[in-house]
Structure 1
Amino acid sequence: MAEEQTVSLVDVLEENEELEEEASAVLAGSDSDLCSYPQGYVKRQALYACSTCTPAGGEPAGVCLACSYKCHEGHDLFELYTKRNFRCDCGNRKFTELQCKLFPEKDELNSQNKYSQNFFGVYCTCSRPYPDPDDQCGITKSTSHRALLPKSPSLIGWLCLQVEDEMIQCVVCEDWLHGRHLGGGVPDSVELQEMICESCMNNNSFLWTYTDHLSVPGAAVEVKEETNTNVPKEELKGDDVMEPSCKRSREEAESGCKGQGHEEAESGCRLKELQEIGQKRVRSGAVFWPSAWRSKLCSCNTCKERLSAAGLSFLLDESDTVLAYENKGKSSEQRRQGPDPLMSALDNLNRVQQLEIIHGYNDMKTELKDFLQRFAAEGKVVTSEDIRQFFEQQQSRKRRRDDGRFYSP
């Protein structure tokens, strides 16, 4: 007879703690009580779009985490995960019948905000909703640096069970793309990597030069090496070539601007050096970048100007990454919570006591689920009084059980 598999309370608590950390990664970096509007264009924050207030065909708008709770409770919201350099729109001109309850004195528009199809609940080059009903897929989490919540994409990832696929966010346009629409294979290990879609790469063609040296090749991407020792210098010039900002000696060219720590080197341009090496990769498909790749970008004056003109200055800022935002949220949540007293108390319990507690926990969880499902079936709202009565019933049952009333004579 096969041994019955048991799960300890420690396992359950650790799994619950992991789920809480995932939620903290998305939400703890944003304020859930105060509208973010007074902070101006926030570097990165959790955002939502309200299809109840701004339906398709109208003007796109985004609201902060606090406003999604306080001003749009009960509305149909699209969870946008995070966006950079965005100012809360809640209650401005785009909301004709709603005034922000948290910060009503807002400008009519936030001119620097950037909007995409995501604000109307569609994603990818195929402009489909998430989850896509045509895929008829179940949702399960993957552990890669990709997407999170059941209502919309985010950073933990989702995987279709029938249409095997996942959605990954481009760090430039911040749209979410299906893996099958990236134009190439997805690397197996991308836990700490960022992705730039093919469209954004083509719109900023100088980035292709970095792919030869910094990116992670996808499964369907071919890489070939070429040497330019016999190629006339004129042939090196193209859309993705940038001329150096000053003339250099041979010694300066060898040292160059390495980009490490973004230290500026007036005498050289790392991008130009990489172009002259001549290694070439097929210029197609999305590009995946490894951890800390931003620190290797050239930060000479000319490159800074080019990035600024393209609206890509944030690529020189490693704190702009979603990973940095997540880590900040997790750290903040841990400081607020402190050590878990329940986990600490388990050290003083033996195995039998832990099993008794886990059985009680499972029973309560099942009963609570059944209790809440009755409200869902009847379309009723669960109130605090309902929850109070539920736990009072639990206490009453426990007392009767302790008195032996549940046992047969």
Structure 2
Amino acid sequence: MTSEEQTVSLVDVLEEDEELEEEASAVLAGSDSDHCSYPQGYVKRQALYACNTCTPKGGQAAGVCLACSYKCHEGHDLFELYTKRNFRCDCGNKKFTDLQCKLCPEKEEENTGNKYSHNFFGVYCTCSRPYPDPDDQVEDEMIQCVICEDWLHGRHLGCVVPDCVELQEMICESCMNQHVFLWTYAAHLAVPGVSEAEVKEEKGTSDQEVATAIKKDEESDADVEPSCKRSRQEAEPDCRLKELEAIAQKRVQSGAVFWPSGWRSKLCSCSSCQTSLRESGLSFLLDESDTVLAYENKGKNNEQRQQGNDPLMSALDNLNRVQQLEIIHEYNDMKTELKDFLHRFAAEGKVVTPEDIRQFFEQQQSRKRGRVNTGQFYCT
């Protein structure tokens, strides 16, 4: 291997580590790592875990918040569920016969508003396989459905995964078929896919005609005499969904559907549609802040604010160059050893707790004192 290949390899490793750190910050920084989220009720969105040690397959599905995964389930076999919406921490309720929550012991026996899936037993997708799957040799990304929040392999979606998928939301075929009105929206709003060539337009409508139909209510108001108009508060706006249905633009109703950024704002919010969404448990589709991307941005902003107040960086600015180089050298050594330390946890599927990190740094201090005692110093 040439030195150039080694350099490229190291850059790739560092970039991959940075991406993992950013992803972890995006998911975890939006949740509280010190306090159980139970008192907050059904949290709009939070990082969740399922404990295979306390609630193994065959038992009742349960989920615990980030703080409880650290404080109450240290050393347990945990499944990372990424994020779920409208969930209340189960830790210590009747589903945990031998465990009491250390952070919030006073809890109801059951959270009836929680929704569970096979994810809580460590399996995902329509193939019901674990992730990572030791028996799967195919490199494939997993994408979360907006509605059921299951994670599906790209190859099991029944469609071609579009570019820039990280900026788009996906609804799986099962959820599309369960809520058939979404196919009407898909024909007009969804990201064009491989099946787009099969879309049939019964009336040959153009994009301009679609936009005109959506704005029909506003245009019709201009043709009515002021004395005949009802006030905005009294008038019921036309149903955007019915207008799109009338256009009769069709889309092949198979495979998962990908939606572009901002698509939720184009859904009809008339009183009838709001009632239908509420009865179907889909009111969150009208809330753009519900998206995983919005949650991740919140986590990243929290992380940036914390870094902006970093006293360590302020202290470094006051040191001379020799002192700065010494600290950087020590930092690089520590970072390498910390990565090796964390990789062992990843290989065993364990969650790193604050106690683990404390022990790591105690070992670092012991080794540093040992180097000083033996007269080993770094030259600059």
* Higher normalized contact order (CA 8 Å, seq sep 6+, divided by chain length): 2
Looking at structure 2, the residues matched to 15 and 61 of structure 1 have their Cα atoms a distance apart, in angstroms, of 32
Is structure 2 residue 201 aligned with structure 1 residue 200? no
Q: Secondary structure of the residue that 1:107 maps to in structure 2?
A: coil
Q: Deviations 1:10-40 (Å, cap 9, x if unpaired)?
A: 9999986654432121111111111111111
Aligned partners of 1:252 and 1:267 also within 8 Å? no
Looking at structure 2, the residues matched to 92 and 182 of structure 1 have their Cα atoms a distance apart, in angstroms, of 36
Distance 1:359 1:31, change over 3 A: closer
Please, what TM-score do these two structures have when normalized by structure 2?
A: 0.78
Question: Higher mean Cα deviation, 167-176 or 395-404?
Answer: 395-404
Number of the residue aligned with 2:368: 394
Q: Deviations 1:215-247 (Å, cap 9, x if unpaired)?
A: 1123355442413389xxxxxxxxxxxxxxxxx
Any residues of structure 2 matched to 1:2-401 within 5 Å, and which? 19-135=20-136, 162-228=137-203, 251=220, 266-339=236-309, 361-366=331-336, 384=358, 387-394=361-368, 396-397=370-371, 400-401=375-376
Number of the residue aligned with 2:210: none
Q: Secondary structure of the residue that 1:33 maps to in structure 2?
A: coil
| Percent of matched pairs sharing the same residue | 73
Distance 1:184 1:317, change over 3 A: same
Shift of residue 305, structure 1, vs aligned partner: 1.2
Aligned partners of 2:48 and 2:63 also within 8 Å? yes
Looking at structure 2, the residues matched to 383 and 172 of structure 1 have their Cα atoms a distance apart, in angstroms, of 36
Shift of residue 367, structure 1, vs aligned partner: 5.6
Aligned partners of 2:43 and 2:88 also within 8 Å? yes
Shift of residue 134, structure 1, vs aligned partner: 1.5
Shift of residue 269, structure 1, vs aligned partner: 1.0
Aligned partners of 2:202 and 2:250 also within 8 Å? no
Aligned partners of 1:253 and 1:268 also within 8 Å? no
Looking at structure 2, the residues matched to 81 and 54 of structure 1 have their Cα atoms a distance apart, in angstroms, of 18
Looking at structure 2, the residues matched to 121 and 368 of structure 1 have their Cα atoms a distance apart, in angstroms, of 27
Distance 1:191 1:359, change over 3 A: same
Q: Deviations 1:161-215 (Å, cap 9, x if unpaired)?
A: x413110000100000011110111102223110000000000000001111111
Q: Secondary structure of the residue that 2:160 maps to in structure 1?
A: coil
Looking at structure 1, the residues matched to 306 and 234 of structure 2 have their Cα atoms a distance apart, in angstroms, of 39
Looking at structure 2, the residues matched to 17 and 173 of structure 1 have their Cα atoms a distance apart, in angstroms, of 30
Aligned partners of 1:264 and 1:301 also within 8 Å? no
Q: What amino acid maps onto 2:286 in structure 1?
A: L
Aligned partners of 2:195 and 2:252 also within 8 Å? no
Aligned partners of 2:46 and 2:85 also within 8 Å? yes
Aligned partners of 2:90 and 2:110 also within 8 Å? yes
Distance 1:29 1:225, change over 3 A: same
Looking at structure 2, the residues matched to 16 and 349 of structure 1 have their Cα atoms a distance apart, in angstroms, of 30
Looking at structure 1, the residues matched to 293 and 341 of structure 2 have their Cα atoms a distance apart, in angstroms, of 38
Q: What amino acid maps onto 2:80 in structure 1?
A: E
Shift of residue 274, structure 1, vs aligned partner: 1.1
Q: What amino acid maps onto 1:35 in structure 2?
A: C
Shift of residue 317, structure 1, vs aligned partner: 0.5
Q: Deviations 1:328-386 (Å, cap 9, x if unpaired)?
A: 11212222332556667589998x99988766655455566678999999xxx968567
Looking at structure 2, the residues matched to 101 and 229 of structure 1 have their Cα atoms a distance apart, in angstroms, of 63
Shift of residue 275, structure 1, vs aligned partner: 1.3
Long gaps (5+) in structure 1: 136-161, 231-247, 255-262, 405-409
Q: Secondary structure of the residue that 1:54 maps to in structure 2?
A: coil
Q: Secondary structure of the residue that 2:194 maps to in structure 1?
A: coil
Looking at structure 2, the residues matched to 16 and 3 of structure 1 have their Cα atoms a distance apart, in angstroms, of 21
Looking at structure 1, the residues matched to 14 and 312 of structure 2 have their Cα atoms a distance apart, in angstroms, of 9
Question: Higher mean Cα deviation, 101-110 or 356-365?
Answer: 356-365
Aligned partners of 1:13 and 1:343 also within 8 Å? no
Distance 1:173 1:347, change over 3 A: farther
Distance 1:389 1:285, change over 3 A: closer
Long gaps (5+) in structure 2: 206-216, 224-232, 349-354
Q: Secondary structure of the residue that 1:123 maps to in structure 2?
A: coil
Q: Secondary structure of the residue that 1:129 maps to in structure 2?
A: coil
Number of the residue aligned with 2:209: none
Q: What amino acid maps onto 2:248 in structure 1?
A: G
Please, what TM-score do these two structures have when normalized by structure 1?
A: 0.73
Number of the residue aligned with 2:230: none
Question: Higher mean Cα deviation, 72-81 or 217-226?
Answer: 217-226
Superposition RMSD on alpha carbons, in Å?
4.1
Looking at structure 2, the residues matched to 264 and 65 of structure 1 have their Cα atoms a distance apart, in angstroms, of 47
Q: What amino acid maps onto 2:243 in structure 1?
A: E
